[in-house]
Amino acid sequence: MLVIGADLDLPATLRRIVEAAAQLTEATYGALGVLDEPRTSLSEFVTVGIDDSVRDAIGEAPKGHGILGTLINDPRPLRLPDLHEHPDSHGFPPNHPPMSSFLGVPILIRGQAFGNLYLCDKAGGEVFTDIDQELMVALAAAAGVAIDNARLHAQVADIALFEDRERIARDLHDTVIQRLFAIGLSLQGAVRLADDPALVARLGSAVDELDTTVREIRSAIFELHAPRPVGRSARHAAMALSAELARTLGFEPEVHFEGPVDAAVSDELAEHLLAVQREALANVARHASATEVDLTISSNEGTVCLVIEDDGVGPREGGMGGRGLENMRSRARQLGGECTLESRAGGGSILRWTVPAH
């Protein structure tokens, strides 16, 4: 009980519980299945006794069918001398090690099922005993307390993180952006006093760079204020994809974000967005002969827009031709948006893919 409660990190706590259960009962294999929100299947499966290579060979983790499902539907201890003889046994997937004796115990937190402890193959070929079951029931009770403490600790950490995000966002808005505005106004005033055209151009360029910086800081503020996304981050996924395609392009695209992108892009929309980004950058690599690509994802007034600019040869005569571009248009129409491709001033092309936020 002291060992499993020694760590407030939830994944570490779950692993300690399984290791303690296997050690106490002399089980060859142990697992802890965590129930999903509806408590009808397993969302996590922590194991001991099976190495990574065997786990990879087995493939997808169990979801709670067969005997595992029996414990989910009826959360009471279950002890079997040979699990294959149970009517709910469905056998094992390919590459799964053979197992025989079985002991399963539910883990309850405040009267509600959190998950189940599963143990197989007691050492020496013996079956699990009444004492083993009593030990596991006691361990499961202690595990419930340890898991609850770890989850409460995580909630406190999340609250502290949220407060830090709010403070950073407030400091960026009230201090950094205001100073940048002041510097920009000062530079614009200096432009009116300058006589040298080269100096005027350099000052104008500096003002433009400040404007871009302010927009990027505003985007960061939006993300700091937004709730942490449950699924993956569209921003991180877009940056990772651009880095992945850098080898194909011969250079890494410049990636920019405007507005609360993660808050506006659902997991479903992210799939379309990333598919369009991949197709568009692949088209640039194949046809544009570009040396630079700027990619911007923005969220504004209920819409999400992906803009990809390159300095290549520009669109082919005839406009939006090609299967890849038609696929991008089709995705946009499917979501109630549009996709356009046009020439870019100074050479190259601009792709705009705009859809409602989902």
Structure-block tokens of residue 197:
């055209």
The bridge status of strand 112-122 relative to strand 102-109 is: antiparallel
Tell me how far CA of residue 279 lies from CA of 285, 311, 329, in angstroms.
10, 17, 11
Measured between alpha carbons, how far is 223 from 14 in angstroms, rounded to an integer?
A: 31
Measured between alpha carbons, how far is 296 from 205 in angstroms, rounded to an integer?
A: 20
Which CATH number does 234-356 carry? 3.30.565.10
Write down the domain spans for the chain. Answer: 10-155, 156-225, 234-356
Looking at the chain, how many residues does it have?
358
Measured between alpha carbons, how far is 5 from 23 in angstroms, rounded to an integer?
A: 16
33 Cβ contact list (under 8 Å, min separation 6):
42, 44, 45, 46, 62, 64, 68, 115, 116, 118
Structure-block tokens of residue 57:
């060979």
Helix/strand number for the chain, H first, E second: 11, 10
56 Cβ contact list (under 8 Å, min separation 6):
none
The whole-number pLDDT of residue 146 equals 79
The whole-number pLDDT of residue 118 equals 93
Give the residue among 108, 93, 99, 61 at the shortest CA–CA distance from 80: 99
The per-residue pLDDT for range 242-260, each reduced to its tens digit, is: 988 888 888 989 998 888 8
Strand, helix or coil for residue 144:
helix
Write out residues in the chain with pLDDT < 50, as ranges. 228-231, 318-320
Q: What is the DSSP letter of 57?
A: H
Provide the 10 A C-beta neighbour count for residue 57.
Answer: 13
Phi, psi at 50, each rounded to 5°: -120, 125
The whole-number pLDDT of residue 195 equals 84
Strand, helix or coil for residue 150:
helix
Q: What is the pTM of this model?
A: 0.48
The whole-number pLDDT of residue 4 equals 63
The whole-number pLDDT of residue 5 equals 58
10-155 CATH pick, 3.30.450.40, 3.40.1390.20, 3.90.79.10, 3.40.50.620:
3.30.450.40
Sheet containing 349-356: give its strands across. 254-258, 293-300, 303-310, 349-356, 338-343
Phi, psi at 45, each rounded to 5°: -145, 105
Give the H or E element holding residue 351.
strand 349-356
